[in-house]
Chains A and B, each alone.
With several copies, the nearest count.
Chain A
Amino acid sequence: MKINVKFFASLREQIGQSDLSISCDNAPTALQVWQQASSQPSMPANILCAINMEYVEPNTLVNDGDEVAFFPPVTGGQQ
Chain B
Amino acid sequence: MIELRQDNFDPWHELNRYQQNLAPGKYGACCNFVGSMRDFNEGDVVAKMTLEHYPGMTEQFLQKICDEASEKWPLLDCLIIHRVGDIQPNDSIVLTAAWSAHRDASFAACRYLIEELKHRAPFWKKENTSTGDRWVSENTPPGS
Q: A residues bordering B, Cβ < 8 Å? A: 6, 8-10, 46, 48, 50, 53, 55, 69, 71-79
User: Which residues of the partner chain A approach B48 to less than 8 Å between Cβ atoms?
Assistant: none
Is B141 in the interface zone, CB < 8 Å from A?
yes
User: Which residues of the partner chain B approach A74 to less than 8 Å between Cβ atoms?
Assistant: 118-124, 138, 142
- Interchain nearest-CB distance for A57 vs B (Å): 12
- Across the interface, A53 reaches (CB within 8 A) one of B57, B103, B123, B141, namely B57
Is B43 in the interface zone, CB < 8 Å from A?
no
Q: Interface size class for chain B?
A: 20 to 34
What are 9 A-B contacts with C-beta separation under 8 Å? Answer: A8-B52, A50-B57, A53-B57, A53-B60, A74-B118, A74-B138, A75-B137, A78-B140, A79-B103
User: Which residues of the partner chain B approach A46 to less than 8 Å between Cβ atoms?
Assistant: 138, 141
| A interface SS class | loop
User: Which residues of the partner chain B approach A6 to less than 8 Å between Cβ atoms?
Assistant: 54
Check A9–B135 contact: CB distance below 8 A.
yes
Is B56 in the interface zone, CB < 8 Å from A?
yes
Is B85 in the interface zone, CB < 8 Å from A?
no
Of all A-B residue pairs in the complex, the 8 with the closest CB atoms, nearest first, are A76-B118, A73-B138, A9-B124, A53-B57, A76-B140, A75-B125, A75-B136, A10-B135
